[in-house]
Chains A and B, each alone.
Chain A
Amino acid sequence: MKSGWEMVVGLEVHTELRTATKLFCSCANEFGAAPNTHVCPVCLGLPGSLPVLNERAVEMAMSIGFALRCTIAPSTFHRKNYFYPDMPKNFQISQYDLPINSSGYLDLPDGSHVGIERAHMEEDTGKSTHLGASGRLHGAERSLVDYNRAGVPLVEIVSAPDIRSAAQARLYVAELRRVLIATGASDGRMEEGSLRVDANVSVRRPGAPFGTRCEIKNLNSLRSLQRAIDYEADRQIELIEDGGTVRQETRHWDESTGVTSTMRVKEEAEDYRYFREPDLVDLAPDAAWRDRVAAALPPMPGVRRTALLQHLVDPTDAQREAVEVVLDLDLDRYVHGAAEAGLDAATALARTANEVAGAEDGADRLSVEAFIGTLRLEASGQLSATQAKTVLADLLAEGGAPEEVVARRGFTQLASDALDGIVDEVIAANADEWSRYRDGDDKLAQFFIGQVMARTRGQANGKAVVEILRSRRG
């Protein structure tokens, strides 16, 4: 970002809801089925068909609203009218001036705060495939339409223009994705299109009013999002510095060339002729229904993150990353369990983010008690770090109690007099390193631990080795 400039970004995120059926009919909401197999008169918009609102979709929309600290209010449905072959009725049922969720916010892991203007319900369109040279509608030889996706429930989450960098935009979408997955409303799969992002980007001199914005479409990954926003902000700055003005338009991001290009300018923008959908009644969930949905919500990632970080003093970047791994895989209970048992939280976090997280489905077999037990054996010096990791690996693979693994593996720490002898051998064999260590180069302790571990095939306790080294240094 060029100095003297500030970018202003607002994001529109569409998420498909993980309902069993579509928003207005009982067709299956399932990705990847054979084309046009999940269709009926309603989602094909056949003459005479009428929509019936899916209550589960309303509940999921409310879950999203609660998770984003929105106001959940009585709402209405509108028709957004425009012609497109993958939209069976040539209008989309959406929410307009009265959305179900409004005025919320999302706190990001970096401490920043992004306002949520609204999170409203609407139906998805079908999917067109254009055959022929361009792969786009214009100039296609033939077009095929699959209506399986038509009528799939969506929630569109519109952020306030609070985002000031591409990295923050990425952080926002990543955190929003975690929240959506946590609510159970979305699977968060950007690659399958169940989470789709449009970015509104403008630039300004700091303190100046908002500049003219461009909307960027076709952002199919977090990487695209970040690259496209940076590209677009630079494009606008360059344009203005060259004496031009930014034109309000919709632009298409091309991942292969790394540039955005004009899709349509504002003057060509559709007049959607919104009006109240007369086939649906107003949506006014009563307090009891709202309370039930709120009560069923699990803790959100932000709350869980704070709880995990509380165990650590001045967490490092690596530890923060480990916390994200724990959050994403829902492994909080191991860290909390170990910390509450008085064990070292940093070790518990590392073991969880590495060993537990690395074992596919292993968490199903590793009880929190077994995890704590293993760490306790390590802390008391009965297991070396290497041994502890091996025990965890066995428990993750087969379940059981750590004591059983220890017995089966024959893990007993080397008696300390045996260890004394091995350390002395290592010192003798590495005179250069030893003299540097003795002169105060503490980093070499790791070297000696490594040598001792090699000779003992990992059965030594690292802390005990360091103590022997210190005693030899005098």
Chain B
Amino acid sequence: MSAIDLAASVRRGEVTATDALATALRAIDARNDELNVFLHVDRDGAEARARAVDDAVASGRDPGPLAGVPVALKDNLCTRGVPTTASSRILEGWRPPYTATVVERLVAAGAVPVGKTNLDEFAMGSSTETSAFGPTRNPLDPERVPGGSSGGSAAAVAAGMAPLALGSDTGGSIRQPAALCGIVGVKPTYGLVSRYGLIAFASSLDQIGPFATSVADAALCLEVIAGHDPRDTTSLPEPAPALVDHLDDGVAGRRVGLVSELVEGADADVVAQVERAAAALEAAGAQVVRLSIPELRLGLSAYYLIAPAEASSNLARYDGVRYGRRVAADELGAMNEATRTLGFGDEVKRRIMLGTYALSAGYYDAYYGQALKVRTRMIEAFRRAYEQVDVLLGATAPSVAFRFGEKTANPLAMYLSDVFTIPTNLAGEAAVSVPFGTGEAGLPIGVQLLGPGRSEARLLAAARVLEVAS
């Protein structure tokens, strides 16, 4: 059942939140050992929330638009008293004393957080293979990755363990796993959703967004979590845009740009589905043009300087002094070093080193400084493109879900998984991945719709057209 239908049933008293939770927990119990989706299932907390929703319904109070909807949370979202690890040994056992704004908003809307999902350690990866607690398996083919870094949240929704999930997207970490798991994923405009309580990877790029089985569910979830938060200075001051009301706006009269750089190097089955999507949009009344934005090719290299640079600073706090894991040693520096050596995995260490180097005296201008210039050019290039078209179209990922170990030996091959998604993060804009057809081995393919800042309503309406046509 969709989140919208479930919430409606709960509000009408036809289904109890407690029953809806039980259904979710059964699905989790059935496959979590196999798929390694949840790192922690908060049964007691979820049951208490569900009861509160049922009590509200029984006493005639409206529990909110997500009444009784089980929601999975990426384990880099802080939840008071509930273990939060970012899939890292260094935070093993840590229970935050506070809750992320997005989780508070979900709960206030009647949703029932069921637990914390697996991710690439500190969201650094594209397959969930860098998790310190083992990889998540793709529910559609357990021999393959679910994508990443929000692989656990994508798998939770794809496996029917929860109708909705939250992920975070720094360079594609919502859209790519959504594509690989055959569901909808939204990377909102930077600042649309509060980051308060999201364990930072790269602060200028991170953004929280929803996973859902339908465009409408994703729109509803995003509406609930979006909007200014005084605890996040970078959150946009304007009221959040209405999304659900615009879902059926269609694409008639919209100008859509099929971007050659956003299919370049993708597998043939992926390219074919993007072409088919362009045709579907045209059939629905859009005017499709083909265009090239050469600056997008610079995104990957700029991203792999900016994101690690910020990460090297964001992750400096994990030193064994205040919380999380501590590896004892005779002396402070040695304790810091031992803690970080054992606490962080290889990919995290690689990025900390990359970022530290990029910011170092003597290298800053050549690396970090240069990357910032590329970022500015990227923003300009998008701005020019949006003078010609309303929406950009491309692939979300270069291939369908790949097999475990296929890309772990070569970090660069793994990094290329995000080549189509990274430019949106660098520009701080919005993008949606929507399932559209299948490819190799019958696995799902996602196409990506990109728009300028605060264009979510437009993008979701276009995604809805593709959802119907698919």
Contacts and interface: CB of A to CB of B under 8 A. Distances in A.
A231 interface: no
Given A41-B97, A271-B361, A278-B310, A48 B200 contact: yes
A50 B360 contact: no
Contacts of A79: 313
Interface in A270-314: 271, 273-275, 278-281
Enumerate the 4 nearest inter-chain pairs by beta-carbon distance, A residue then B residue, closest first. Answer: A90-B316, A278-B204, A273-B359, A278-B203
B316 A89 contact: yes
Nearest to B88: A47
Given A83-B336, A278-B204, A45 B317 contact: yes
Nearest to A82: B316
A137 B332 CA distance: 8
Interface string B281-324: 00000000000000000000000000001101100110101110
A48 B100 contact: yes
A26 B317 CA distance: 21
A128 B359 CA distance: 28
B322 A44 contact: yes
A46 interface: yes
A47 B313 contact: no
A33 interface: no
Contacts of B78: 46-48
Interface in B195-236: 195-200, 202-204, 230-234
A83 B200 contact: no
Nearest to B99: A48
Contacts of B310: 275, 278
Contact of B233 (A52, A83, A137): A52
Nearest to A279: B203
A221 interface: no
B316 A81 contact: yes
Interface in B69-118: 76-78, 84, 86, 91, 94, 96-98, 100
Given A48-B196, A281-B234, A91 B100 contact: no
A53 interface: yes
A266 to B, nearest CB: 12
A281 B196 contact: no
A273 B100 CA distance: 29
A275 B233 contact: no
Contacts of A83: 316, 319, 333, 336
Interface in A39-64: 41, 44-53
B202, B361, B368 pick with most chain A CB within 10 angstroms: B361
A92 to B, nearest CB: 11
A47 B98 contact: no
A458 interface: no
26 contacts: A41-B97, A41-B98, A45-B317, A45-B322, A46-B78, A46-B96, A46-B97, A46-B98, A47-B78, A47-B94, A47-B200, A47-B317, A48-B77, A49-B196, A50-B233, A52-B231, A79-B313, A83-B316, A83-B333, A90-B316, A137-B332, A143-B332, A273-B360, A275-B309, A278-B204, A280-B233
A145 interface: yes
A85 interface: yes
A152 to B, nearest CB: 18
Contact of A279 (B77, B100, B197, B233): B233
A281 B333 CA distance: 33
Nearest to A52: B233
B183 to A, nearest CB: 25
Interface in B319-343: 319, 321-323, 331-333, 336
Interface string A139-166: 0000101000000000000000000000
Interface string A96-132: 0000000000000000000000000000000000000
A136 B86 CA distance: 35
Nearest to B357: A273
Contacts of B204: 278
A302 to B, nearest CB: 37
Given A279-B233, A280-B233, A50 B319 contact: no
Contacts of A52: 230-233
A450 interface: no
Which size class do B's interface residues fall under?
35 or more
A293 B88 CA distance: 47
A273 B336 CA distance: 19
Given A47-B199, A50-B232, A275-B309, A85 B321 contact: yes
A184 interface: no
B195 A50 contact: yes
Interface string B335-378: 01000000000000000000010011100100010000000000
A94 to B, nearest CB: 13
Contact of A145 (B203, B233, B321): B321
Contacts of A381: none
A47, A90, A271, A278 pick with most chain B CB within 10 angstroms: A47
A41 B96 CA distance: 9
Contacts of B323: 46
A90 B356 contact: no
A45, A49, A81, A88 pick with most chain B CB within 10 angstroms: A49
A280 B232 CA distance: 8
Contacts of A89: 316-317
Interface in B133-185: none
Contacts of B332: 85, 137, 143
Contacts of A85: 319, 321, 332
A45 B100 CA distance: 14
Given A47-B96, A48-B197, A279 B234 contact: yes
A264 to B, nearest CB: 14
Given A46-B97, A47-B78, 13 more contacts: A45-B317, A46-B78, A47-B86, A47-B317, A48-B78, A52-B232, A83-B316, A83-B319, A88-B317, A138-B331, A143-B332, A271-B360, A279-B200
A275 B308 CA distance: 13
B229 to A, nearest CB: 9
A47 B361 CA distance: 27
Contact of B91 (A47, A88, A90): A47
Contacts of A50: 195-196, 231-234
Nearest to A79: B313
B184 to A, nearest CB: 25
A243 B309 CA distance: 45
Contacts of B86: 47
A137 B97 CA distance: 30
